[in-house]
């Protein structure tokens, strides 16, 4: 029933006659109408006030939902498990072990360790300290780890069987190697020593220089094989990213993460690269910072995330992240991309470019974010430990 206006009594004197009143006020109108048998009276003020309150409350609710850090749209992640680490562990990188309910992590002052997710037990692969660099085979059965060699300033590459924890093979004098990546067929490992790239044949045990020096002269910061092994992605210190054919080691395409408009920052450097699980997308992220200890809160940052299609090298996603991107990983279905940007992990829907949620992850200079094959997400928090996230129901 439509509410009646406040001047309804004045427009209808029969109401006044019915109750014997000639000079009603706004305060007496409701009672007059009730006495006259009108029950649908609602004053304009009484109607407008709750509407305004409802609209105001709805606006506040929308604002709260829009600014919540996580879980505000379908597909958000919730914390499933935390694996505590001691402060002296100094973790710098962690990864899922494919096919197993465990993770592997490297530390600054401890041997590389396997952490069983089901039991929460730790198992050190060896008793000696390593250089803290490892690469996992595609099947998750083995780990390649750089170790100090027998001679001065030498390095050995040891292949460990993760099930038994025993050394399967030792390849001496590999000149260091960080970063490094294992080919999907398990037969080759590519590693970098500053700007030089080397390929190691695991069956024959021989190492060769990759013949790409004519088109690559920057310090290498990240390496990744495509899932089919036909492409190698290379990220460099000064913002240049490149794709190479692995059968001929010829350059396919060069990309650039661009520069910050702030002249103090320069290029979005220290690039990190990865491929989507089906190989159709290639992603890179990086950034830079500038600050001085003379002025408080004077540090300024820049960051960029780019995703290209490997078929035609066109841009599928381009984002200015505001802070350096230091780790990134595609979900198993290739629909989302998680990236670590100094203090939090962002998860982006690649179809819409919209942020799904972000998770706190307080780390140092070498944080990790990685999707497992079952869709769970792994992050590293130097104060909270290793965190395993799952999609919210």
Please name each of the domains of the chain with its CATH number. Answer: 8-66 (no CATH), 73-391 (2.130.10.10)
Residue 235: name the closest of 264, 195, 208 by CA: 195
Q: How confident is the model at residue 86 (pLDDT cuts 50, 70, 90)?
A: confident
State the pLDDT at residue 90. Answer: 65
Query: Mean pLDDT in the chain?
Result: 78
Q: How confident is the model at residue 163 (pLDDT cuts 50, 70, 90)?
A: confident
Angstrom distance (rounded) from CA 368 to CA 380: 6
291 or 247, greater pLDDT? 247
Residue 179: name the closest of 302, 98, 271, 283 by CA: 271
Angstrom distance (rounded) from CA 54 to CA 175: 69
Average pLDDT over residues 239-257: 91
State the pLDDT at residue 26. Answer: 44
The percentage of the chain sitting over the pLDDT mark of 90, rounded to a whole number, equals 34
State the pLDDT at residue 295. Answer: 55
Pair 98, 136: CB distance under 8 Å: yes
State the pLDDT at residue 52. Answer: 42
Name the pairing type of β-strands 142-148 and 377-381.
unpaired
Angstrom distance (rounded) from CA 96 to CA 365: 20
Name the pairing type of β-strands 134-136 and 188-193.
unpaired
User: Within 10 Å of residue 371's Cβ, how many Cβ atoms?
Assistant: 21
Q: Is residue 59 predicted with pLDDT exceeding 50?
A: no
Q: State the Cα angle at 56 between 53 and 59, rounded to 5°.
A: 150
Residue-wise pLDDT tens digits, 270-287: 999 999 999 999 999 999
What is the DSSP secondary structure assignment for residue 213, as one 8-state letter? Answer: T
State the pLDDT at residue 4. Answer: 45
Q: Which two tokens stand for residue 105?
A: 């992590």
State the pLDDT at residue 260. Answer: 85
**Residue keyed to tokens 């105001």:** 56
Q: Is residue 361 predicted with pLDDT exceeding 80?
A: no
220, β-bridge pairs: 236
Q: Which two tokens stand for residue 11?
A: 């427009």
State the pLDDT at residue 325. Answer: 93
Residue-wise pLDDT tens digits, 169-185: 988 876 766 789 999 99
pTM score > 0.85 for this model?
no
Average pLDDT over residues 38-62: 42
Q: Is residue 44 predicted with pLDDT exceeding 90?
A: no
């Amino acid at each position: 029933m439509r509410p009646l206006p406040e001047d309804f009594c004045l427009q209808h004197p029969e109401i006044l006659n019915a109750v014997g009143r000639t000079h009603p006020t706004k305060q007496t109108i409701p009672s007059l109408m009730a006495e006259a048998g009108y029950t649908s009276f609602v004053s304009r003020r009484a109607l407008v006030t709750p509407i305004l309150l409802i609209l105001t409350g709805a606006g506040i609710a929308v604002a709260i939902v829009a600014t919540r850090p996580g879980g505000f749209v379908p597909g958000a992640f919730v914390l499933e498990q935390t694996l505590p680490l001691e402060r002296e562990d100094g973790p710098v990188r962690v990864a899922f072990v494919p096919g197993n309910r465990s993770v592997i992590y490297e530390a600054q002052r401890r041997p590389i360790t396997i952490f069983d997710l089901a039991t929460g037990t730790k198992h050190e692969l060896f008793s000696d300290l390593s250089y803290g660099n490892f690469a996992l085979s595609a099947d998750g059965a083995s780990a390649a780890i750089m170790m100090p060699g027998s001679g001065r300033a030498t390095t050995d590459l040891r292949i460990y069987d993760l099930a038994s924890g025993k050394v399967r093979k030792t390849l001496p004098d590999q000149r260091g190697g960080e970063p490094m990546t294992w080919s999907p067929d398990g037969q080759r490992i590519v590693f970098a020593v500053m700007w030089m790239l080397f390929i190691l044949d695991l069956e024959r045990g021989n190492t060769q220089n990759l013949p790409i020096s004519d088109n690559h002269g920057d310090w290498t910061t990240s390496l990744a094989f495509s899932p089919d092994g036909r492409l190698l992605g290379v990220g460099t210190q000064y913002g240049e990213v490149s794709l190479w054919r692995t059968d001929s080691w010829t350059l396919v395409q060069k990309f650039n993460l661009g520069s910050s408009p702030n002249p103090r920052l320069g290029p979005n450097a220290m690039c990190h690269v990865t491929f989507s699980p089906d190989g159709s997308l290639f992603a890179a992220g990086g950034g830079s910072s500038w600050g001085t200890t003379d002025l408080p809160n004077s540090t300024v940052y820049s960051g960029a995330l780019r995703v290209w299609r490997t078929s035609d090298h066109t841009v599928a996603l381009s984002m200015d992240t505001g802070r350096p991107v230091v780790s990134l990983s595609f979900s198993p279905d290739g629909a989302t991309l998680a990236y670590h940007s100094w203090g939090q992990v962002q998860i982006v829907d690649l179809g819409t470019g919209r942020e799904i949620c972000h998770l706190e992850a307080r780390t140092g200079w070498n944080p990790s974010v990685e999707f497992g094959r079952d869709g769970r997400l792994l992050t590293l928090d130097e104060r909270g430990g290793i965190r395993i996230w799952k999609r919210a129901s």
